[in-house]
Amino acid sequence: MSSLLEHSLDSKEFAMNLPSSITDNVAELLVKIIEFTEARHKALIRNIQNFHSADFIPQDLAVEEFCTLLNDAIDAHSRSQCLVFCDTKNIKFGAAGAFEAHPMLDKHSKHLLDQDQHEYLQSQMNKLLENSLNQRIAAELLVQKEGKVSILD
C-alpha cells in the first residue's frame, strides 16, 4: 500500500496539478489529511493493543480511497474553482466540515496475524510510523500556511 504522502502531499503529480488558485483551499486539504491520520492512528493503535484477543480482526482506513478522493477534489477545483469533497463508501463528509472515516477489514494484516504475529506487529508499527509522519508533515505545512511559528523550531 502506498503512503498517503506519495499520493497527496509529496508527489510530483500533486505539485504539478496544484493550480495557484487552490492555495486558498490548501488549509482545508491539510485539515482533512490531519483528521484522516488521527482516525487512522486510533485504528492502528487498536490493532496493536487487541491482537491477542480471541477472534480479533485488524482494521485500517481506506488510504487509497482517501487519496483518490483528495485528487478528485483537487481536479474538480481546478475546473470549477470550488473545492468539493464527495462521500465514498468508507469516508463521509458532513455539514460545517464534519468528517468521518470508517475502519474496514485489513485483509493483508489479518493474513499476517494468522501466519506470523511478529511480522504482523512489525507491519502495524510501520504503518503507525508512516501515518505519524504524514500527520506531522500536514500539521507543519498548516502551521506554515497560517504564518505561525513552526512546531519544529
- Label residue 150 by pLDDT band (50, 70, 90): low
- Label residue 152 by pLDDT band (50, 70, 90): low
Q: Which long-range contacts (CB under 8 A, 24 or more apart) does 30-33 make?
A: 30/138, 30/139, 30/141, 30/142, 30/145, 31/97, 31/142, 32/70, 32/85, 32/99, 33/4, 33/8, 33/9, 33/70, 33/134, 33/135, 33/138
- The residue with cell 468528517 is 99
pLDDT tens for residues 87-122? 999 999 988 888 899 999 999 999 999 999 999 999
Confidence (pLDDT) at 5 = 42
- Label residue 26 by pLDDT band (50, 70, 90): confident
Flag whether pLDDT at 1 surpasses 90.
no
Angle at Cα 107 formed by Cα 105 and Cα 112, nearest 5°? Answer: 125
Average pLDDT, the chain: 84
Confidence (pLDDT) at 7 = 43
pLDDT tens for residues 33-70? 999 999 999 999 999 999 999 999 999 999 999 999 99
